[in-house]
Amino acid sequence: MSAKLNPEVRNNIKALRIRTGRMQKEVAHDLGVKIDRYRSWEQRKRNPTGAMVGKIADYFGVTMDTVLGSQQAFPLPPTTDEQHLLDTYRQLDETDKAIVTRMVFALLETAEHSDM
């Protein structure tokens, strides 16, 4: 891989991990890397090697292009729970939508600083 850091790799690896309900430690272990190495990918400190991108793609059952960001990461329809959340959100008024949005961003910020 090139020395230039690719933010799409970070975004896609993290999104795949969260969507599949896995913890950073679990994914690192399953991929055979130390947790610090895995975290460095999600935190945009370094990119995984080309061979590791292939391993990550196999692990999550997606293509390498998906991991690299040149394909849509989630062509799958939403899960039942995701659809229920979306339907519920759409029923809220604008004030409540704003509150929910702030709460979600706060949760995401907290998750970035933990081992979610």
The tokens for 42 are 């999600």
What does the angle CA 12 – CA 78 – CA 74 come to, to the nearest 5 degrees? 25
Q: Is 20 within 8 Å of 113 (Cβ atoms)?
A: no
DSSP 8-state secondary structure symbol assigned to residue 43: T
Using a cut of 0.85, tell me whether the model's pTM lies above it. Answer: no
Q: What tens digit of pLDDT does each residue of 48-98 get?
A: 988 999 999 999 998 888 888 765 555 566 778 888 998 999 999 999 999
Give the CATH fold of the 7-68 domain: 434 Repressor (Amino-terminal Domain) (1.10.260)
Amino acid present at 96:
D
pLDDT tens, residue by residue, 39-58: 999 888 888 988 999 999 99
CA distance 7 to 5: 6
- Output the furthest CA–CA distance in the chain (Å, rounded): 47
Which residue in this structure is represented by tokens 């055979």?
32
Q: Where are the domains of the chain?
A: 7-68, 80-112
